[in-house]
Amino acid sequence: MTALQYRFTDLRRLVDDTHAIFDAWIEDVSEGGSVSGDALTLLRLKLAVHEWMANLVQHARFAGPPVVALQVLSLPSGEVECRIEDNSEGFNLDAALDARRHALHALPERGMGLLILHACSKDLRYVQASLPPSHTLVFVVAAPDEDIFLDVLF
């Protein structure tokens, strides 16, 4: 997989459109097609991207028409870097993660999205720019031979 870029402006279709992209990639990898990478890495990436996109749809406030850009880049290590830029008002990711970690109840039905994103990712960072409003989430998903586990409590 080389650098792939997508642009979205319809929040009502954002999650479905990103799912369709990942489903096509995973099917292509499973059938030995032209997309390089591993299905497990793509599934981890799909989960992480889904959690972020769902949070944008449910919680983000946009001053104007929403614009969300997705860039996916295969790294020589077998890992995949993802960048999701949007023009929302943004928020403090580190504070939100800390708050979620301390507010968990046993088997919660909601509120796990950011923790799942964090657990799927390496080098997770959120870069905010004030003028014009532009915020970029950058994260790397581990290669399939790395032993990661989804421990969202620590």
Specify the pLDDT at position 20. Answer: 95
Walk across the sheet containing 134-141 and list its strands. 4-8, 68-74, 80-86, 134-141, 121-129
* pLDDT at residue 153, rounded to an integer: 39
pLDDT tens figures, 64-94 = 899 999 999 988 887 889 999 999 988 877 7
Per-residue model confidence as pLDDT tens digits over 38-69:
777 888 889 889 989 998 999 899 978 999 99
Q: Where are the domains of the chain?
A: 4-141
- Phi/psi for 137 (5° steps) reads -90, 130
- What the block records as the tokens of 45 is 């990436």
Q: Which pLDDT value is given to residue 103?
A: 61
| pLDDT for the residue 116 | 77
Most confident of 10-14, 87-91, 135-139: 10-14
CATH node for 4-141: 3.30.565.10
Question: Per-residue confidence at 152, pLDDT binned at 50, 70, 90?
Answer: very low
